Amino acid sequence: MESALDNSYVDFGKIFKNFFILMIVVCITIVFVLSTHALEKHKTDAEIVEECLDKNSPIATLTRSSDNRKAIICEVFPGKFGVKIDEESGTNVTAFIKNKFRTLEQVFRYLKNTGYEP
């Protein structure tokens, strides 16, 4: 007499494939949740620079003659400077914090090396 177990087998390849797909979905979900949390709790450099310029007057504005872009500098934290780059029309191109520069002179030097002038 044969039992039902004798005629059936477990397809471990299919089980492994499904488990692997499930693990990928779980990992993607975790990464998405963590990155969303990070953006909600910790502002990006661009947001910090924008907030700084909304609350304070810029320290300086430099212009690059080749494309008339403006580099607007503010001190986001003591000894840390943010730079916002705008098109001539006022459209924002980028905003960032130069973490390695501790003095305004270092920021000016960096911007002058990229073509900006007071």
Q: Which of 85 and 99 is assigned the larger pLDDT?
A: 85
User: pTM of the entire structure?
Assistant: 0.64
Q: What is the pLDDT of residue 93?
A: 92
| Residue bearing the bigger pLDDT, 28 or 86 | 86
Across the chain, where does the E strand assignment appear?
60-64, 69-77, 80-86, 92-98, 116-117
pLDDT of 38 over the 50 cut: no
pLDDT tier at 32 (50, 70, 90 boundaries)? low
Q: Which two tokens stand for residue 71?
A: 């580099």
Identify which has the larger pLDDT, 88 or 10: 88
